[in-house]
Structure 1
Amino acid sequence: MKIDVFAHVLLPRFYQKMLRLDPHLPDKMPFLQNPVLTDMKSRAQYQHKDTQQIISYVNVNPEDYVEADEALKLVQEANQELLETLQAHSEQFAGGVAMLALNHMDGSLEILEKFVTQNQNIVGVQLFSRHLGQSVAAPEFAPIFETCARLEIPIWLHPVFDTRKPDNNIVFSWEYEQTQAMLEIVEAGYFRKYPNLKIIVHHAGAMVPYFAERIRHILPEEMVQDFKKFYVDTALLGNPKALELAVDYFGIEKVLFGTDAPLGILPAGPTKEIIAAIEAMALSTKEKQAIFADNWYRLLKQKGS
């Protein structure tokens, strides 16, 4: 069984609540129109038979639309809907990733302390490259990183657009934003402040493996070493040579099978393409199995230990 650590949903009750806040969401983000995001029965028809997914919400964040109390209520309800979905479809899903509302820090910390730690099906929490117009590594968000490290809760890091920029595009912008967020986390010294911190980065670490030598020659040595502490997924729509760069840079033990399903390749994502890319890599059977599942189980054992 392969464990897909980065698959997305937009569960129906939560989606309807967000549509009431912004009826134009599907026009602003056309990928939301994919029915496999919301319909789990339809999703099951497409899901690879040897794969279980770990599901996280797409980047529709209540904190961007409403004030703190309402945002917290919406993410709490979304998290409950996620938990119910996991319980109802345990054959499809290996776990779920909770949402936070970072305009309500106390409530977000309570989600970590209670909801995530007390529900075995909830395996981590999702953060985005920017929150409330600021870097994810802004000092006011530091309590999230401290709490996740203390409780051994992995963080899923997903990119979002920087709304200050007029030329955002889905091909390149998210990869830049993801890379910049990684740099800001490293610059903040979080891996040294919080040694148990575990962060899973979408899209194989974005630009980092390709620019490894720039990192090595430009940054201080302690920052160079911190970059290698991220975990990354394999969500590159295939591309075995790029995946080999990620393995060379982060190490085989830090690379986890992830597809971005059901996004990327219609109708339900690039699972077949990414499996084929991993199989085409110059790796041993044991190393491929580490990517497909074993690295995830090793990381999961550390949650809440």
Structure 2
Amino acid sequence: MDIKIDAFAHVLPTDLLNYIKSDFTDVIDKNPFLKIPALSDLNIRRKDFPKDVKQIISNVNLNPEDYFDGKKAAQLCWDANEELLKLVNGNEDIFVGAVAMVPMNNIPKAIEIIEQQVVPNNKFVGIQLFTQALDKSIASVEYEPIFLEMSKVDLPIFLHPVFDNNKRDNNITFSWEYELTQAMMQIVQAGYFEKYPKLKIIIHHAGAMIPFFAGRIKYTMTDQEYHDFKKFYVDTAILGNPKALELAIDFFGSEHMVFGTDAPFAVVPNGATEQIIDAINDMKISTITRNDIFFNNFLKIIRPNLFIE
């Protein structure tokens, strides 16, 4: 294997954006991150793009259930997933797979999308969920069927943060890491890893606060909860910092870390891919472990021979 698989990179499906804009003309003004050109301009995306990297793409934080009822949200998710597939199939020099969207205000249709759209297509590697949906924790009981279904089909959930709308001091530097940490705790305390042994969840941003506070988890929570935290997978999208990545490995284990960059965010024009590769190369780990992070670990948690020839 001579490529690196970036498991957590983002795009903006323009058909989805235009549909939402037709009813909500201020959607871009309210979500200024949508203005980042490289989300949709693939010529910018290709600027200085590493030849040995292939991205798994997922939608940015633009979710149909935040704008439309369950029926329409389900159709938009289906259509946006097809748009993601077209992006992958039309840009195989940089993209290799996609993470699907599901409507969180229509759980039966979300299950249908998993079974009828995600599972049959080998370019889909899992689904993306967020730390909250419709201002409720992702671990709220009404969302539990999604976790059951993903365990059943044996594909990973990619967990991305969102702001808690009830807080007035949200900020991009720290708030999302707190929200990820809280969501992880809520999933653990819901007992999902015990109920669904095949459940696989990839956490953005190297597991957020968990590695640093591993001791507090060990001595303030139960033994079962402590060990369940270790069942999460984490990516490397913390904009560098090899020491922090080593700390994440210390807690989660090297087999639970996958290469992810959050591209095209943070570093103009098309993301922090170079900085994160440098950080992984600067880690005090073996070549075998480094290769596991760059591609092997990810291949082990998706369907065998899913998309790599």
| Length-normalised TM-score, structure 2 | 0.96
Tell me how far 1:16 sits from its aligned partner: 1.1
- Asked if the contact 1:129–1:178 (Cα under 8 Å) also holds between the matched residues in 2, the reply is yes
Q: Which residue of 2 aligns with 1:92?
A: 94
Q: Which residue of 2 aligns with 1:214?
A: 216
CA distance in 1, matches of 2:190, 2:147: 11
- Asked if the contact 2:207–2:235 (Cα under 8 Å) also holds between the matched residues in 1, the reply is yes
Runs of 5+ in structure 1 lacking a partner? none
Q: Which residue of 1 aligns with 2:56?
A: 54
Q: Which residue of 2 aligns with 1:153?
A: 155
- Asked if the contact 1:94–1:121 (Cα under 8 Å) also holds between the matched residues in 2, the reply is yes
Choose the corresponding residue for 1:135, options 113, 134, 137. Answer: 137
Choose the corresponding residue for 1:116, options 105, 115, 118. Answer: 118
Choose the corresponding residue for 1:281, options 280, 283, 286. Answer: 283
The residue type paired with residue 84 of structure 1 is: K
Moved more, 34-43 or 263-272: 34-43
Q: Which residue of 1 aligns with 2:300?
A: 298
CA distance in 1, matches of 2:54, 2:117: 22
Tell me how far 1:10 sits from its aligned partner: 0.4
Tell me how far 1:85 sits from its aligned partner: 1.2
Moved more, 206-215 or 15-24: 15-24
For the structure 1 residues 244 and 101, does the alpha-carbon distance in structure 2 shift closer, same or farther, using more than 3 Å as the test? same
Q: Which residue of 1 aligns with 2:103?
A: 101
- Asked if the contact 1:56–1:97 (Cα under 8 Å) also holds between the matched residues in 2, the reply is yes
Q: Which residue of 2 aligns with 1:241?
A: 243
Cα distance per residue 1:168-208 (max 9 Å; x no partner)? 11111100000000000000000000000000000000000
Choose the corresponding residue for 2:170, options 168, 171, 194. Answer: 168
Choose the corresponding residue for 1:13, options 8, 12, 15. Answer: 15
Q: Number of paired residues?
A: 304
SS state of the match for residue 288, structure 2? helix
| Mapped pair 1:82 → 2:97 | no
Tell me how far 1:303 sits from its aligned partner: 9.3
| Identical-residue share of aligned pairs (%) | 49
SS state of the match for residue 118, structure 1? coil
For the structure 1 residues 67 and 301, does the alpha-carbon distance in structure 2 shift closer, same or farther, using more than 3 Å as the test? closer
CA distance in 2, matches of 1:226, 1:73: 35
CA distance in 1, matches of 2:270, 2:245: 21
CA distance in 2, matches of 1:147, 1:123: 14
Cα distance per residue 1:107-160 (max 9 Å; x no partner)? 100011111100000110000000011000000000000000011021000000
Tell me how far 1:83 sits from its aligned partner: 1.1
The residue type paired with residue 96 of structure 1 is: A
Query: Hey, which bits of structure 1, 4+ residues long, moved more than 4 A?
Result: none
Aligned-pair Cα RMSD in Å: 1.3
Cα distance per residue 1:247-302 (max 9 Å; x no partner)? 11100000000000000111111000000001111011111111011111111236
The residue type paired with residue 73 of structure 2 is: A
Runs of 5+ in structure 2 lacking a partner? none
- Asked if the contact 1:123–1:303 (Cα under 8 Å) also holds between the matched residues in 2, the reply is no
- Asked if the contact 2:155–2:303 (Cα under 8 Å) also holds between the matched residues in 1, the reply is no
SS state of the match for residue 42, structure 1? helix
Q: Which residue of 1 aligns with 2:181?
A: 179
Choose the corresponding residue for 1:252, options 235, 240, 254. Answer: 254
Choose the corresponding residue for 1:125, options 115, 124, 127. Answer: 127
- Asked if the contact 1:229–1:250 (Cα under 8 Å) also holds between the matched residues in 2, the reply is yes
Tell me how far 1:25 sits from its aligned partner: 2.6
- Asked if the contact 2:155–2:302 (Cα under 8 Å) also holds between the matched residues in 1, the reply is no
Q: Which residue of 1 aligns with 2:38?
A: 36
Q: Which residue of 1 aligns with 2:202?
A: 200
